Amino acid sequence: MRLIDASRCPYCARVRLALAEKVLDYETVEVDLADRPQWLLELNPPSGRVPVLDDGFTLPESEVIMAYLDERYPERPLLPSEPVERAHARLLVHRFDENLGTDYYAFRRGDPNDLAGKLEMLEVGQSLFADLAYAPWVIRARDMLGVQLPDRIAEWLAKLEQRPSVAAEVAVVRAL
Ligand SMILES: N[C@@H](CCC(=O)N[C@@H](CS)C(=O)NCC(=O)O)C(=O)O
């Protein structure tokens, strides 16, 4: 298995976290986001976005890759087993932009935003799948952007960081 990856990309981090949770062996192809290779534009047209997983076939989109890995490698599940809880976890991730992403990127650009309000309201601790899908941005908000997390979110992240997968991602971010 191969992951077309970029250390600083939080969408790639979702996939790194899922692969680490599943304890799967994989190779990494690190891409320079500022100088995307032509082969990547051809692999994932038109933008050449990362992440892209190669598991004998090519799969882009972090949310889809996480769900694929969970179904293909069912040991150590990420999604809950109960259908209503599974649906809720997927819904939470599907609504990432409105729940966090849009305001995170507005904050990063210095545009008007409600990142603080979105962090206050964030639904966490309900499923590993959703927690892993949101954690890359919360880690970057704390460790790269210097955002003071609400106590509830700081405590959730501190607990999540006890997982080797998340601790490894924190180390990646701190080395950027
Ligand atoms: N919806 C995609 C978003 C991936 C994404 O935006 N990746 C960034 C790097 S962090 C990228 O490659 N952006 C290039 C572009 O949007 O043209 C996913 O979930 O995988």
The pLDDT > 70 percentage for the chain reads: 100
Mean pLDDT of the chain: 97
Over the stretch 48-94, which tens digit does the pLDDT of each residue have? 999 999 999 999 999 999 999 999 999 999 999 999 999 999 999 99
Pairing of strands 2-5, 58-60: unpaired
How much is the average pLDDT of 21-50? 95
Confidence class of residue 145 from pLDDT cuts 50, 70 and 90? very high
Counting ligand 1 atoms within 8 A of each CB, the residue from 41, 50, 53 with the most, and so the one to mutate, is: 50
> Of 121, 102, 17, whose CA–CA distance to 63 is shortest?
17
29 phi and psi angles, rounded to 5 deg: -110, 105
Say how far apart CA 114 and CA 87 lie, in whole Å. Answer: 27
Confidence class of residue 28 from pLDDT cuts 50, 70 and 90? very high
Ligand 1 is surrounded, with C-beta below 6 A, by 6, 9, 11, 33, 47, 49-51, 61-63
Domain regions of the chain by residue span: 2-72, 83-174
**Which atom of ligand 1 has the smallest separation from the CA of 10?**
10
Say how far apart CA 78 and CA 166 lie, in whole Å. Answer: 14
Partnered with residue 5 across adjacent β-strands are: 30
How much is the average pLDDT of 113-137? 98
* Greatest Cα-to-Cα distance within the chain, rounded to the nearest angstrom: 44
Distance from Cα 165 to the centre of ligand 1, integer Å? 21
Over the stretch 4-15, which tens digit does the pLDDT of each residue have? 999 999 999 999
Distance from Cα 82 to the centre of ligand 1, integer Å? 30
pLDDT reported for residue 97: 98
- Pick 2-72's CATH classification: 3.40.30.10, 3.90.70.10, 3.30.590.20, 3.90.600.10: 3.40.30.10
pLDDT reported for residue 88: 98
pLDDT reported for residue 60: 97
Say how far apart CA 115 and CA 117 lie, in whole Å. Answer: 5
Alpha helices in the chain (DSSP H): 10-21, 38-43, 62-72, 83-94, 96, 102-109, 115-121, 128-143, 151-160, 164-174
Lay out the sheet containing 27-30: strands in order across. 27-30, 2-5, 52-54, 58-60
pLDDT reported for residue 40: 96
Over the stretch 163-176, which tens digit does the pLDDT of each residue have? 999 999 999 999 99
